[in-house]
Amino acid sequence: QMKKQCDQKLLIRMKTECVPCSLNLDTQCPAGYTKITNGTGIPDCRYYLETKTHTLSFPGCRHHCVKEFEQPECCQGHWGPDCMGE
């Protein structure tokens, strides 16, 4: 019995919004995503504060998140909705 379905595992990555690093400890990833950074996250971004006259930019932190996603696919030589084709 040959396997007809070869699901592809996809990794979807995203980053949370840039915030002051001290506030980033509590940042959660969106539902379904797993946080792969810890503590205050990665200081690789800038966030902005608007005053009446200026927009100021400050170094900030964000977290990186991943979500594993299985995409159904037929193995080579099979096709169709039920992967029957030979």
Residue 85 lies in a domain: no
Residue 35 lies in a domain: yes
Residue 56 lies in a domain: yes
Distance CA 55, CA 18 (A): 15
Q: What is the pLDDT of residues 8-26, one digit of tens each?
A: 999 999 999 999 999 999 9
Residue 19 lies in a domain: yes
Classify residue 19 by its DSSP letter: B
Q: Which residues contact 55 (CB under 8 A, 6 or more apart)?
A: 48, 49
Q: Which two tokens stand for residue 56?
A: 């100021």
SS3 26: helix
Residue 2 lies in a domain: no
Question: Phi, psi (5° rounding) for residue 54?
Answer: -135, 160
Residue 17 lies in a domain: yes
- What is the pLDDT, as a whole number, of residue 19? 97
pTM across the whole model: 0.71
Read off the pLDDT of each residue in 21-34 and give the average, rounded to a whole number: 96
Taking the chain, what is the end-to-end CA distance rounded to the nearest angstrom?
Answer: 13
Q: Residue 62's domain spans which residues?
A: 12-67
